[in-house]
Structure 1
């Protein structure tokens, strides 16, 4: 499992932006989380699916949201693989 430290520069930039209120950071991070999940789902439909760091970026977004007090788990997180 990846270390519990944010390594993605885009995620870190949002976390560090002191001009953004926490609510705005949460909004941006949730949007990124949704986008990354969509990319991850699309990648699994490819016959040659590779991680390409998607899980690391998603992990960083989840960590950032957790640090802001947000549970980023969605309904799909409690389900097994679907066909």
Structure 2
């Protein structure tokens, strides 16, 4: 299975992932994302991101380095206000 940047996978393909919701989401059922650090083959060392309102829907899988770089760019304000 190829794991290209941003490829979508289904919930059954990521069974066993431990999802964490953003601490900024609060207790409401509003729009939020969840992230899972993947430790099982063939996804070991990657991160998955999904819509918390649709946990059985698709999740995007990225290399850890891509997520780290994206978060660093956010912190540096590279995406504007």
Q: TM-score range by the shorter chain?
A: under 0.3
TM-score (norm 2): 0.24
If each structure's helix is expressed as a fraction of its own residues, which one has the higher value?
1
Point out which structure has higher relative CO (alpha carbons under 8 A, 6+ apart).
1
If each structure's strand is expressed as a fraction of its own residues, which one has the higher value?
2
